[in-house]
Amino acid sequence: MNLKNLLGSSVKDLENVALDYGQAAYRGRQIYNWIYNYRNKNKNIDQIEVLPLDFRKKLKDNGFKVSELIFKERNLANDGTLKLLLSTEDNESIECVGIPTEKRLTACLSSQVGCPMDCKFCATGKEGLKRSLKASEILDQILFIEHEMNRKVTNIVFMGMGEPLLNIDELLFSIRSINNDFQISQRKVTVSTVAVPKMISKLSAKSFQILGNCQFTLAISLHASNQKTRETIIPSATNYEIKNIIEDCKKFVKETGRRVSFEYLMLGGVNDKLEHAYELSNLLKGFQCHVNLIQYNQIDEVEFQRTSLKNLQLFQSRLLNNGIAVSLRKSRGLDKNAACGQLRQKAKNK
């Protein structure tokens, strides 16, 4: 049986489904409103009570569904950050995180099961890549976060498990639905990548093709000020010189008009010295960008240490003095395995 997931379908798509079953077009709009109402906890088609019983039964019998993911575990940190462990239909595990503030609810989403990039500071890469996620599986993470936190998601970051640029089509299909169906503007979406050769230009080209424009934020996980240091942290960096990443980012800014963010994970004694701040300033000067300095989330399997707050502030001051826009990103959910991949790893070790 060909299972059909309705999540990510447009109003028009769902109206056509209704018409195909001899129903009025407005029945499709009822399905649409039911799917994207965060207050609705039901995920089964046979529980869409506004639809006639026989229509629901036919949809279900013919393999239509809304959700593929299955709830496995939730961890709520003291600061309100919620991490969810979800299972796919082929019994793989993925993570997503809801990060609340008074005015926002940011959903941190995974784009793949596992990750092939093997970054040395990350728990996700320890077991490699299992597969990429479909758009419906990406979008389902938002529904789970909204249902569990009883709030509408306002911002999206693709900073969970996986390398989004190795799943570009499904990533962009999901962003299209995030814009159109979840009513979250592209400007509130961030796509984070370790950087893959030739894929930054492909991302902007495909964005114009699939989305009609490119207004989300591109965030590069740089984490180093020179090629040698970057290769020790990110093994895949051997294929992509840091100076070429910067050149490709400059082209991205020119093509899209959007500034690029650079994520810089502060690792004690590795990349947090003032000489690194000076080097980073030279690398990025004269370029429309922003640097996010990030405190490291300690994980058991890795020897990296968190840099001191004093070092972090000195590093930030040096960048500011050199004319680089920079901010400190506060770590969230430290007490509940919130670092990427930790919850999945913990569940596998049980």
Q: Which residues are catalytic?
A: 95, 340
Token look-up 């003291």 returns: 78
Tell which residue, 79, 80, 88, 192, has the closest CA to residue 145: 80
β 129-132/112-114 pair status: antiparallel
Report d(CA 223, CA 33) in Å as an integer: 42
Angle at 339 between CA 203 and CA 85, to 5 degrees: 85
Region of 330 (left: φ > 0; alpha: ψ -120 to 50; beta: rest) is beta
Six-digit token string for 57: 């039964």
Tell which residue, 324, 230, 232, 335, has the closest CA to residue 284: 324
Helix residue ranges per DSSP H, the chain = 11-20, 25-35, 53-61, 135-149, 168-180, 199-210, 227-233, 242-256, 274-284, 309-321, 342-349
Q: Which residue type is seen at 214?
A: C
Tell which residue, 255, 319, 234, has the closest CA to residue 284: 319
3-state helix, strand, coil in the chain (%, to 5): 40, 20, 40
